[in-house]
C-alpha cells in the first residue's frame, strides 16, 4: 500500500515536476514528524477529528483536492503554532522540531496556494443592508431613517451584509419606494413654514424603562428610570424641549430630573413641583431629525421609617414632553449644499436639472452616471416640473428615482471581460468596497475624488485612504455594525431574562450593555491597542445604569449624568468582553446561565471555530436534571460528557463556559464559592475568567478569528482555503501582537479585496 | 426591536404637517365604521406556521371522523370542529436531512409550504422551492390589490447563526416567490395595516392620492429603465439578483395600477384602525390578536386572497412569560420528557390553538353572501416538524379549516397512510381554489377524503 502510493506519487510528481520540485525533501522530514507525533491518532490507529495525516502527507500535489488539503494543513499549522497538539499527556516535540515542522507546513501551503490559483473569489452583488441603507441616506441627504422600517435582512455566516442572503421582495421595494420619496421630501424641502410647530407626548404616549408604575395623567417613575418618546422632527435643528413633571420627596435632596436626547444628558433639574402644581422644565437644544427624548429620574430614595408619611418615597412623575420648533433659521440641507453649485438658475427645467442629476448620481451611485442615465432622471425632473410641480419638486422626483434605482440599492461591480478571468476592481468599485467596510456607508467627497482614475489601485494609496477614513467618526460603524454583529450584540434587543429569578433587566440596561461593548471595541481601535485588549482590558465604560448593575457606583462618580465614563477596574471584575454584561447575557437562558452557550460563543466569536450542532435528541439534559446551582450545572455537564459522543465537542465547550460560572445571566458577579476550574482538551487549565482570557489571548488564534470575521464582513462571503492562507500570510506580516487597527487595515490589502473573480466560477457550497 | 405600536411613529406625519399636538388617535372620529360592501365570495387561502412542533399525543384526536374525541390541545376548537379536518400521517420529506445533518428547524420552515429539500448553505446560493401560497398568488392573486400577503410575529434573527449551517433566510420564511427568493414578511402590525388599507394618518383626497401614485409610478419606471441598462453589464450570478429586483418593481407597479383602477368609492372604504391600539401593552397575546384581526380584515375586504402567517420563526426561542413560561420555547421543546418542560410546552401549544380558535370563530361570525368567511376559506395550520424533541418530519401536526366556498369538505380526524406527502394537501387546496395544476412538489395525488 505504502509502496503503491509512493509509485503513484512519483508518477504524479513527474507530471507536476516544477511544483513538486519545491516540495522535494520537505515532505520526508515533515512525514517523519507526523509519524512520530501525530500519526497514531490521526491516520494509523485512529482518525480523530476526521483528520488522516498519513494520507495527507502522502497526497500528490495535484490540484484536484488542493482546497481540501489546504484546509487540513491550515488546521495542522494552527494546532502546532498554538501548541494545542500533541496533547499534553503525549511526548512533546523539541521546540526546534516544532518550529521546523510549522515552517514546512507553510512551504507546503505556499505551494498549494499556487495550485489554488489566484482567483480572488466571487462576491455576489450585494444589496445594501438596511443599516447600510440608512447610513448611506444619512450621509448623502442628511436624513435619518429608521432601519426597522424595512424587513430584517437575513443573516448569513453571522452577518447581514452577505449578498447571497440579501434578497429583495416586493415588500422591500414597496417600502424602499416610500422611503425614497419621504427622504427626497426632507432632503430637498420647500422653504420652512412661517410658524414653527410643536409636538406633545402625553403620559400615556411615553415609554417607560420600568415595568409598571402609575399611568394616567402622569407616568410614575418609582425608581431610577426614564420616560421617553421617539420623535420624528421636521428636520434637525434647534428645539425647545419642555418636560412637565412633579415629584414626591424623601431624604435630604430634591428629586432630580435629567433631560436626555438619545444617550446624551442635555440638562438637569431639581424638581420641587407638586402634583397640584407641576413644573415645566425647559431646555433649548439642537436635536437630530429623529431623536429619542427622555426624562430620567436619577436619585431614587426610599425612607419607609420617616415620621412624615409624605416624605417616605422620592418619585418622579412625568406628565408630558413637548418639543417646539425648529427655532433656528433653516440651514441648507446636506443635499442642498452639494447641489447648490450645480443648479443654474436659467434654462429649461431639463437643462437645469442635468448638472444636478450628474452630481447626484456620482454621489449616490458611487460612480459617474452615463449620459443616458443622467438624461433619464433629468427628463423625469423636467416632466414632473411641467406637470405642475415646482422645479424643486422635479428634483425631488429625480432624487427619489436615484434612490430606488438598483445602482444605488446594490453595490454593482464591473464584470470581468472575458468573463472567465479575474479582474482588478476599478477605482469606483474599490472605493465603494472600502467605504462600506470601514463606514457601513457610501464614500465621501475625498474618497470619490481618489476613486476617479487609478489612484486607489496603488496599495499604498489604498492604505493611506483607509487610515484617513478610520479617523472619521463614521468608522464607529466598525463598532456599532461590524462588532455588534460579530459579537451578536443585537440579541440584547430580544432578551427576556426571567424577572422572577433575575430581576433588573430593562431595555435601558440592555442598551447600556451593548454600548459598553461597542465603546470598548471603538476604544481599542482608536487608541491602536493590541486586539487582545478586547479580552484583557482592565477598565470598563459604564453609565450610571451599568455602574449600579456591576456594583461599581463608587468608582464611577461621573457616571450619574447619564453619560458613559471610563473606569479603571483594578481587577475588581473582568474588563474584557468575557466580563461584559452583554456577552454574558446573550449567552444565557432566561432562567439560568448556560456554560454550553457561553463556550460555544467563545469558540465561534473568539476563535472562529464553532463546534458542530448536537445530534437531534442529544441536545437536552435528562428529565428533571437539576440545574439550579452552579454546582448542579457542573455535575450535570460532567455526567453529560461521560457519553463519548457528547464529549468530543463538550470537552472543548464546557470548560470555557464553566470558567464564567461566577457571572449570573445578567453578567453580575455571583456570590458564594463557585467552582470555575477547568481544563481544555490540550491540557491547558482555564481556572476562572482571568485565566480563560489569558489563554484565549495567547498566540494567534484570537487575532486570526477577528481577521476571519472582518473578512466575511468586508467581502460578504466565507474565506475559502486560498483566502485562509492569504489571511494567515497577512497576519504573519503584522507586528506581534497586532492591534485591532492592524487587522482592520490588513483586509483592504488582500488581493481578494481589490480584485473580483469570474462570475462563471461560482462556488456552490 | 422597536415597540410594535410606537405611537410616536404614528404621529410622524401629523407632525410633519405641522398640525401641532400629538393627541390620542384623533382621526378615529373621521373614520367610518367600514366594510359595508358585500363581495361575491371567492375562496381565500391562509397558511399558518407554528414553530417547534407539538406534543402529538396531546394533539391527535382519538377515533376518526367527525365523531373523534378532541384531545387537550384541540379542545379550544370544539365550536368550529364541524369546519375542520385534522390530519394524521402527513409528511414533508424535503424537511429531512437526506445526508445534510442537523438543521431540522431551518428545513422545517423552508420546506413547510414548498415541500422542497432546501439546499444546505450558510448564505451562498440559497435554494428551496416555490411555496404553495406563491403558486396560488401567481395563479389567482392577480385580481386583488395584494396578490399575496406574508406576515409574521417575529422579525428575522438579530444576530448569530439560526440553525446549523443554514442561512437565516430558511428559518425566517415559509413563503418563497421563486426557488431562490423568499418573500419577506411584515412583522409590524401597523405597517401591515398601512399596506392593506393605507395610512390612517394620511388624509389625502382621492385626487391627491392618485397624483401621488402617478409620481411613484414615474419614479419606478425610471428605476426599471436603469435596471434594464444595468442587466446587460452584469454576469450571470448578479443577473439573478437583478431579476429579483425587476420582479419586485413590476409587482409593485402592478399593485399601483390596481389601486388606480379602483373606483373612488372603493377607496373611500375605510377600516377603523382603532383595534390597532386596543391591545397595546398586552404583549405578545395582544399583538397576535391584532395580527389575526388584520388577517381577518384582509380576507374580508378581499385585499388579498392568499396569506401566510408565521407565529414564530423556526426554532423560535420566545419566552411566554404571560403564560408562566419564562424559558425559551425552543429550549423547552427539547423536553427530554421532563415533566416540567412538557407542562410548559403544553401551555404554549394550547395558547396558540386557543388564539387560532378565537380567530376561526371570528371568521365564522362574519357572514358573507352564501355563508360565512370561514366556509369560504381554506386555512392550513401546522408545523414543519412533528415533535420538537424528535425533530421528525412525518406525522406532522396539521389541520385544515374551512370549505373553500364548498370545494372542500371537513371530515374531522382523517388518518392517512404514513408518509402521505403534505404536498397532496396543498395540491388539493390548489385545485379547490381553481388552480388546475397536475402536481405540486412531491405530491402523489389529491386527498380525495376532503375534496
Assess if residue B182 is contained within a domain: yes
Say whether residue B355 is in contact with chain A using an 8 A CB cutoff: no
| Of the candidates B158, B156, B139, the residue with the CA atom closest to the CA atom of residue B148 | B139
A positions 381-400 inside 8 Å of B (CB): 383-384, 397, 400
Q: Which structural domain range is residue B248 located in?
A: 201-271
If asked whether residues B386 and B376 sit together in one domain, one would say: yes
Residue A410 included in any domain: no
CB nearest B7 (choices: A205, A619, A718): A205
pTM: 0.78
**Portion 127-156 of B in contact with A at CB < 8 A:** 150, 155-156
Q: Is residue A765 part of a domain?
A: no
Distance, CA of B265 to CA of B255 (rounded, Å): 18
Q: Which of A648, A678, A697 is the last residue of a domain?
A: A697
Q: Where does residue A496 fall: left (phi above 0), alpha (psi -120 to 50 degrees), or beta otherwise?
A: beta
Distance from CA of B171 to the nearest CA of A (A): 9
Q: In this complex, is the C-beta atom of B242 within 8 Å of any C-beta atom belonging to chain A? A: yes
Inter-chain touch A615–B102, beta carbons under 8 Å: yes
- Angle CA(A141)–CA(A146)–CA(A149) in degrees, nearest 5? 120
Is B220 in Cβ contact with A229 (below 8 Å)?
Answer: no
Contact in structure between A70 and A61 (CB atoms under 8 Å): no
Residue of chain B whose alpha carbon sits nearest to that of A394: B215
Whether residue B227 is found in the same domain as residue B309: no
Q: Where is the domain boundary, A100, A116, A132? A: A116
* 3 state DSSP class of A197: strand
Q: Which domain holds residue A714?
A: 701-754
User: Are A650 and A746 in the same domain?
Assistant: no
Residues B247 and B306 in one domain: no
pLDDT digits (tens, 9 = 90+) for A586-634: 999 998 999 999 999 999 999 988 887 776 666 667 776 778 889 999 9
Where are the extended beta strands (E) located within A430-555? 539-542
Interface test with B, best of A124, A172, A173 (most B CBs within 10 A): A173
Cβ–Cβ of A124/B252 closer than 8 Å? no
pLDDT recorded at residue B218: 92
Looking at the complex, report in whole angstroms how far the Cα of residue B270 sits from the nearest Cα belonging to chain A. 21
Determine the average pLDDT of the residues in A283-288. Answer: 94
Q: Tell whether B278 is within 8 A of chain A (Cβ).
A: no
CATH number at residue B314: 3.40.720
B35 and B150 fall within a common domain:
yes
Residues A741 and A655 in one domain: no
B positions 408-427 inside 8 Å of A (CB): none
CB A606 within 8 A of CB A535: yes
Element (H, E) at A597: helix A595-601
β partners of residue A220: A317
Q: Judged by CB atoms within 8 Å, which residues 305-324 of B form the interface with A?
A: 318-319, 321
Peptide bond into A6 cis (omega under 30): no
Cα–Cα distance, A586 to A605 (Å, whole number): 13
> Across the interface, do B195 and A174 touch by the CB < 8 Å criterion?
yes
Q: A298: pLDDT confidence band, cut at 50, 70 and 90?
A: very high
A-B Cβ pairs (cutoff 8 Å, strict): 317
Q: A695: closest CA among A678, A670, A675? A: A678
Contact B229 A372 (CB under 8 A): yes
- Closest to A169 (Cβ–Cβ): which among B7, B163, B183? B183
List, in order, residues 6 or more apart from B330 with CB less than 8 Å away: B51, B52, B105, B315, B316, B317, B388
Q: How far is CA A86 from CA A79, A647, B59, B71, in A?
A: 8, 18, 53, 58
Task: Show the cell assigned to A44.
Answer: 494509523
pLDDT tens sequence across A348-364: 999 999 999 999 999 99
Structure confidence at residue A163 (pLDDT): 83
pLDDT tens digits, B215-264: 899 999 999 999 999 888 887 778 888 988 998 998 888 888 877 776 54
At B18 the pLDDT is 27
Residue A684 shares a structural domain with residue A720: no
In a domain, B443, yes or no: no
- Same-domain status, B118 and B261: no
- pLDDT surpassing 80 at residue A12: no
Q: Are residues A102 and A241 in the same domain?
A: no
The tens digit of pLDDT for each residue in B383-424 reads 999 988 888 899 999 999 999 999 999 999 999 999 999 999
- Give me the residues of A, 84-123, that contact B with CB < 8 A: 122
- Number of folded domains in chain A? 4
Residue A598 and residue A487 share a domain: yes
Find the length of chain B.
451
One domain, residues A544 and A682: yes
How do residues A299-350 score in pLDDT, each as one tens digit? 999 998 989 988 999 999 999 999 998 888 888 889 999 988 898 878 999 9
pLDDT of residue A560: 65
| B129, B115 contact by CB (below 8 A) | yes
**A550 shares its domain with A692:** yes
Domain count, chain B: 2
Q: Same domain, yes or no, for B168 and B279?
A: yes
Residue A124: name the closest of A759, A557, A765 by CA.
Answer: A759
Query: Cα–Cα distance between A667 and A492 in angstroms, integer?
Result: 13
CB B66 within 8 A of CB B81: yes
Q: Is A330 on the interface with B (CB under 8 A)?
A: no
Whether residues B95 and B144 share a domain: the answer is: yes
**pLDDT for residue A281:** 97
Question: What's the residue count for chain A?
Answer: 765
Task: Report pLDDT digits (tens) over A467-525.
Answer: 999 999 999 999 999 999 999 998 898 888 998 889 989 989 999 999 999 999 999 99
Query: At residue A128, does pLDDT exceed 80?
Result: yes
Please answer whether residues A9 and A60 qualify as being in contact, where contact means their C-beta atoms are separated by less than 8 angstroms: yes
Residues of B in contact with A759 (CB under 8 A): 235-238
Task: Look at residue B423 and tell me if it is in a domain.
Answer: yes
- Give the best residue of B8, B282, B343 to mutate against chain A (max A CB count within 10 A): B8
Q: Are residues A719 and A686 in the same domain?
A: no
User: C-alpha grid cell for residue B196?
Assistant: 392593506
Which of A270, A298, A325 is where one domain is finished?
A: A325
What is the value of ipTM here, to two decimals? Answer: 0.79
Say if B264 falls within a structural domain: yes
Same domain, A744 and A657: no
Query: Is A728 in the same domain as A662?
Result: no
Same domain? For A506 and A597 the reply is: yes
Please report where in the chains the cell 455602574 appears, as a residue: A547
Residue B5 has pLDDT above 50, yes or no: no
Asked if residue B6 is part of any domain, the answer here is no
Question: Rounded mean pLDDT of A131-135?
Answer: 97
Amino acid at each position: 500500500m505504502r509502496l503503491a502510493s509512493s509509485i503513484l506519487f512519483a508518477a504524479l510528481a513527474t507530471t507536476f515536476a516544477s511544483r513538486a520540485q519545491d516540495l522535494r525533501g520537505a515532505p520526508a522530514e515533515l512525514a517523519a514528524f507526523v509519524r512520530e507525533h501525530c500519526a497514531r491518532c490521526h491516520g494509523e490507529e485512529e482518525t480523530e477529528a476526521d483528520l488522516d495525516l498519513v494520507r495527507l502527507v502522502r497526497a500528490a500535489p495535484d490540484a484536484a483536492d488542493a482546497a481540501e488539503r489546504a484546509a487540513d494543513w491550515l488546521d495542522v499549522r494552527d494546532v502546532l503554532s498554538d501548541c494545542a497538539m500533541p496533547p499534553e499527556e503525549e511526548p512533546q516535540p523539541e521546540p526546534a522540531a516544532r518550529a521546523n515542522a510549522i515552517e514546512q507546513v507553510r512551504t507546503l501551503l505556499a505551494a498549494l496556494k499556487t495550485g489554488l490559483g489566484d482567483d480572488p473569489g466571487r462576491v455576489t452583488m450585494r444589496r445594501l443592508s438596511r443599516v447600510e441603507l440608512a447610513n448611506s441616506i444619512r450621509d448623502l441627504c442628511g436624513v435619518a431613517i429608521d432601519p426597522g422600517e424595512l424587513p430584517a435582512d437575513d443573516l448569513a455566516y453571522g452577518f447581514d451584509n452577505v449578498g447571497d442572503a440579501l434578497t429583495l421582495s416586493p415588500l422591500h421595494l414597496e417600502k424602499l419606494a416610500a422611503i425614497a420619496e419621504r427622504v427626497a421630501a426632507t432632503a430637498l424641502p420647500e422653504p420652512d413654514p412661517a410658524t414653527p410647530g410643536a409636538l406633545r407626548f402625553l403620559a400615556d404616549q411615553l415609554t417607560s424603562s420600568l415595568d409598571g408604575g402609575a399611568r394616567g395623567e402622569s407616568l410614575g417613575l418609582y425608581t431610577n428610570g426614564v420616560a421617553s418618546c421617539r420623535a420624528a422632527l421636521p428636520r434637525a435643528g434647534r428645539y425647545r424641549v419642555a418636560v412637565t413633571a412633579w415629584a414626591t420627596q424623601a431624604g435630604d435632596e430634591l428629586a432630580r430630573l435629567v433631560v436626555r436626547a438619545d444617550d446624551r444628558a442635555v440638562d438637569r433639574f431639581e424638581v420641587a413641583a407638586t402634583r397640584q402644581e407641576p413644573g415645566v422644565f425647559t431646555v433649548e437644544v439642537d436635536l437630530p431629525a429623529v431623536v429619542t427624548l427622555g426624562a430620567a429620574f436619577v436619585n431614587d430614595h426610599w425612607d419607609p421609617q420617616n415620621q412624615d408619611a409624605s416624605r417616605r418615597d422620592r418619585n418622579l412623575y412625568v406628565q408630558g414632553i413637548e418639543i417646539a420648533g425648529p427655532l433656528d433659521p433653516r440651514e441648507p440641507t446636506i443635499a442642498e449644499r452639494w447641489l447648490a453649485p450645480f443648479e443654474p438658475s436659467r434654462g429649461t427645467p431639463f437643462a437645469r436639472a442635468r448638472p444636478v442629476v450628474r452630481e447626484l448620481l456620482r454621489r449616490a451611485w458611487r460612480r459617474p452616471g452615463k449620459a443616458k442615465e443622467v438624461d433619464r432622471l433629468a427628463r423625469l425632473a423636467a416632466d414632473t416640473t411641467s406637470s405642475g410641480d415646482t422645479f424643486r419638486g422635479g428634483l425631488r422626483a429625480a432624487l427619489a428615482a436615484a434612490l430606488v434605482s438598483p445602482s444605488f440599492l446594490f453595490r454593482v461591480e464591473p464584470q470581468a471581460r472575458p468573463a472567465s478571468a479575474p479582474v482588478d476592481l476599478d477605482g469606483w468599485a474599490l472605493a465603494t468596497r472600502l467605504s462600506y467596510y470601514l463606514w457601513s456607508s457610501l464614500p465621501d467627497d475625498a474618497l470619490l475624488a481618489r476613486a476617479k482614475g487609478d489612484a486607489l489601485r496603488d496599495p499604498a494609496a489604498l492604505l493611506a485612504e483607509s487610515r484617513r477614513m478610520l479617523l472619521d467618526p463614521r468608522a464607529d460603524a466598525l463598532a456599532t455594525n461590524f462588532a455588534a454583529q460579530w459579537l451578536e450584540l443585537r440579541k440584547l434587543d430580544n432578551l427576556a431574562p426571567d424577572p422572577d429569578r433575575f430581576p433588573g433587566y430593562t431595555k435601558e440596561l440592555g442598551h447600556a450593555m451593548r454600548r459598553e461593548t461597542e465603546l470598548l471595541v471603538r476604544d481599542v481601535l482608536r487608541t491602536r491597542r493590541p486586539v487582545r485588549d478586547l479580552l484583557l482590558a482592565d477598565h470598563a465604560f459604564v453609565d450610571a445604569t451599568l455602574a449600579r448593575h456591576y456594583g461599581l457606583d463608587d468608582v464611577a462618580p461621573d457616571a450619574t449624568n447619564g453619560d458613559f465614563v471610563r473606569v479603571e477596574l483594578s481587577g475588581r471584575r473582568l474588563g474584557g468582553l468575557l466580563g461584559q454584561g452583554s456577552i454574558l447575557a446573550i449567552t444565557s437562558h432566561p432562567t439560568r446561565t448556560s456554560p454550553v452557550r457561553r463556550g460555544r460563543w467563545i469558540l465561534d466569536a473568539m476563535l472562529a471555530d464553532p463546534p458542530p450542532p448536537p445530534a437531534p435528541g442529544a441536545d437536552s439534559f435528562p428529565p428533571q436534571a437539576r440545574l439550579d446551582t452552579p454546582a448542579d450545572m457542573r455535575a450535570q455537564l460532567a455526567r453529560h460528557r461521560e457519553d463519548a459522543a457528547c464529549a468530543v465537542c463538550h470537552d472543548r465547550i464546557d470548560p470555557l463556559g464553566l470558567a464564567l460560572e461566577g457571572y449570573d445571566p445578567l453578567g453580575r458577579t455571583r456570590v458564594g464559592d463557585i467552582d470555575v476550574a477547568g481544563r481544555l482538551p490540550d491540557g491547558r487549565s482555564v481556572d476562572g475568567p482571568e485565566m480563560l482570557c489569558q489563554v484565549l489571548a495567547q498566540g494567534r488564534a484570537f487575532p486570526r478569528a477577528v481577521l476571519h470575521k472582518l473578512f466575511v464582513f468586508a467581502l460578504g462571503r466565507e474565506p475559502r482555503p486560498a483566502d485562509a492562507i492569504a489571511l494567515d500570510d497577512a497576519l504573519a506580516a503584522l507586528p506581534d501582537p497586532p492591534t485591532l487597527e492592524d487587522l482592520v487595515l490588513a483586509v483592504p490589502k488582500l488581493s481578494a479585496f481589490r480584485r473580483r473573480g469570474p462570475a462563471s466560477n461560482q462556488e456552490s457550497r | 426591536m422597536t415597540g410594535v405600536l410606537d405611537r410616536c411613529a404614528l404621529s410622524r406625519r401629523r407632525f410633519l404637517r405641522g398640525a401641532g399636538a400629538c393627541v390620542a388617535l384623533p382621526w378615529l372620529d373621521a373614520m367610518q365604521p367600514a366594510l359595508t360592501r358585500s363581495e361575491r365570495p371567492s375562496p381565500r387561502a391562509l397558511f399558518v406556521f407554528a414553530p417547534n412542533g407539538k406534543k402529538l399525543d396531546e394533539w391527535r384526536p382519538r377515533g376518526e371522523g367527525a365523531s373523534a374525541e378532541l384531545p387537550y390541545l384541540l379542545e379550544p376548537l370544539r365550536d368550529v370542529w364541524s369546519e375542520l379536518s385534522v390530519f394524521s400521517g402527513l409528511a414533508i420529506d424535503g424537511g429531512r436531512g437526506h445526508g445534510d445533518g442537523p438543521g431540522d428547524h431551518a428545513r422545517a420552515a423552508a420546506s413547510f409550504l414548498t415541500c422542497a429539500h432546501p439546499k444546505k448553505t450558510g448564505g451562498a446560493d440559497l435554494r428551496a422551492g416555490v411555496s404553495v401560497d406563491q403558486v396560488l398568488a401567481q395563479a389567482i392573486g392577480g385580481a386583488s390589490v395584494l396578490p399575496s400577503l406574508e406576515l409574521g410575529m417575529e422579525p428575522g434573527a438579530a444576530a448569530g447563526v439560526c440553525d446549523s449551517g443554514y442561512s437565516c433566510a430558511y428559518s425566517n420564511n415559509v413563503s418563497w416567490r421563486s426557488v431562490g427568493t423568499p418573500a419577506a414578511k411584515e412583522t409590524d402590525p401597523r405597517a401591515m395595516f398601512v399596506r392593506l388599507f393605507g395610512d390612517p394618518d394620511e388624509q389625502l383626497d382621492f385626487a391627491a392620492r392618485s397624483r401621488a401614485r402617478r409620481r411613484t409610478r414615474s419614479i419606478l419606471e425610471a428605476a426599471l429603465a436603469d435596471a434594464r441598462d444595468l442587466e446587460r453589464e452584469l454576469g450571470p450570478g448578479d443577473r439573478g439578483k437583478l431579476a429579483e429586483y425587476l420582479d419586485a418593481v413590476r409587482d409593485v407597479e402592478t399593485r399601483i395600477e390596481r389601486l388606480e383602477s379602483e373606483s373612488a368609492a372603493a377607496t373611500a372604504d375605510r377600516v377603523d384602525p382603532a383595534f390597532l391600539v386596543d391591545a397595546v401593552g398586552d404583549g405578545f397575546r395582544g399583538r397576535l390578536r391584532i395580527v389575526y384581526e388584520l388577517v381577518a380584515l384582509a380576507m374580508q375586504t378581499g385585499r388579498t386572497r392568499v396569506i401566510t402567517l408565521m407565529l414564530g420563526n423556526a426554532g423560535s426561542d420566545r419566552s411566554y412569560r404571560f403564560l408562566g413560561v419564562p424559558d425559551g420555547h425552543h429550549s423547552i421543546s427539547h423536553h427530554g420528557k421532563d415533566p416540567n418542560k412538557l407542562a410548559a410546552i403544553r401551555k404554549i401549544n394550547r395558547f396558540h390553538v386557543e388564539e387560532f380558535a378565537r380567530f376561526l370563530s371570528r371568521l365564522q361570525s362574519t357572514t358573507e353572501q352564501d355563508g360565512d368567511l370561514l366556509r369560504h376559506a381554506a386555512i392550513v395550520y401546522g408545523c414543519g416538524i412533528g415533535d420538537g424533541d424528535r425533530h421528525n418530519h412525518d406525522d406532522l401536526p396539521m389541520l385544515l379549516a374551512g370549505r373553500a366556498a364548498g370545494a372542500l369538505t371537513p371530515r374531522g380526524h382523517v388518518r392517512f397512510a404514513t408518509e402521505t406527502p403534505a404536498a397532496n394537501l396543498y395540491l388539493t387546496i390548489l385545485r379547490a381554489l381553481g388552480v388546475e395544476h397536475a402536481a405540486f412538489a412531491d405530491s402523489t395525488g389529491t386527498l380525495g377524503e376532503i375534496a
